[in-house]
Homo-oligomer: A and B are copies of this chain.
Amino acid sequence: MAEQEPSPHITIADVAKRAGVSIATVSRVINQTAPVAAETAARVRAAIGELNYRPSAAAKGLASRKTNLVGLLTTEISAPFFTPILRGMEASAREAGFGLLIYCTQDEPSPAPGFHRPMGPHNTDGLVVFAGSLEETELTHLHEIDFPVVLLHQAPPNSLNIPYITFENKAGARKLIDHLIEEHGYQRIAFLRGPENHEDSYWREMGYREALQAHEIPFDPTLVATGGFNQEKAQIPVEKWLRRGVQFDAIFAGDDEAAIGAITALQRAGKRVPEDVAVVGFDDVHLAHYLMPPLTTVQAPVEQAGREAVRQLVRLIRTGRADELVLLPTELVIRRSCGCN
């Protein structure tokens, strides 16, 4: 006599019953995986609509071995630099019919081993890994089991053939420094490095050195310090230079954040930017346009990087192949902090 509790969720069986077909047919019209008579399909669709049915992702995933999810592993989600990337990734995933799962590692790059991995084959179809958010051993493991991964702003370790996306950092820096030398005649150009082992930073330095060399300006190690892509950290070396009376015409700050720090330090010491010292950055963060003076920098197609990362990842998931390397072009953005206008 026990009443049958109605299932809290509508399942494919409910739809099938209502449409007077088998669950296989329902599955077919939903996934368009085999021909179904037009009239039958219409009945099924009607039933789906009337019942407000939506297939369970879990059941679907279990049966098909696909989650239809891509994961993003990153160190920090709200950095001004990262925001457009995320937007691009989300849009790209949505357009490809994938959901986007995000996880921040907050500095410590995925410390949890094995059992605690937040993302992987168990809950996603593939991963976009942002620079520094996953240890090499984990990356290697994922590669070994053939799990789709795309790297953002970081080359794969041990020359594993994992696709990666990054900017033309070197070319961008080169254009920037060329401008400083050729248009403004600056000779003593200081450089604020990014964090240790940061690839973007490395290539920007290469561009810097190449530009100096091309103009026969000797590389001066005393004009190079670490700004860490960070406002506060960048102020310190600038203050030190100022205190020591080091002479320079311009500062290439490594990125826009560091440029803000450099400008702050300079202005605090009573220097005018760009009259006394020019400052240039890299990234063309939203803020760059609003600074006083507006920042001359290098624009990178940040949103497109996010889009491209997911696009390649989806290709990898679907076809098993993707471009080994996507190098996005950078462009000089001349505003006033370099001395122009």
B54 in contact with A117 (CB, 8 Å): yes
Please give the number of chain A residues whose Cβ is less than 8 angstroms from any Cβ of chain B in the complex: 52
A52 in contact with B114 (CB, 8 Å): yes
B94 in contact with A260 (CB, 8 Å): no
CA distance A90 to B73 in the complex (A): 12
Q: Which of A57-65, A165-173, A209-217, A270-278 contacts B (4 or more CB under 8 A)?
A: A57-65
Q: List B contacts of A103 (CB < 8 A).
A: 90, 94, 99-100
Q: Is the interface of A mostly helix, strand, loop or mixed?
A: mixed
Give 1 or 0 for each of A115-126: 1 = CB within 8 Å of chain B CB. 101111111000
Q: Which residue of B lies closest to A85 (CB)?
A: B78
CA distance A102 to B67 in the complex (A): 15
A286 near B: Cβ within 8 Å?
yes
A49 near B: Cβ within 8 Å?
yes
CA distance A104 to B90 in the complex (A): 7
B55 in contact with A122 (CB, 8 Å): yes
CA distance A84 to B104 in the complex (A): 13
A287 near B: Cβ within 8 Å?
yes
**Contact among B54, B58, B94 with A58 in the assembled complex (CB-CB below 8 Å):** B58
A-B pairs with lowest CB-CB distance, top 3: A58-B61, A57-B123, A78-B87
24 A/B residue pairs, CB under 8 Å, sorted by A? A48-B115, A49-B113, A49-B114, A49-B115, A53-B114, A54-B115, A56-B123, A57-B61, A57-B123, A58-B67, A61-B62, A77-B83, A77-B86, A77-B90, A78-B83, A78-B87, A80-B286, A86-B86, A94-B103, A99-B103, A100-B101, A100-B103, A290-B290, A290-B292
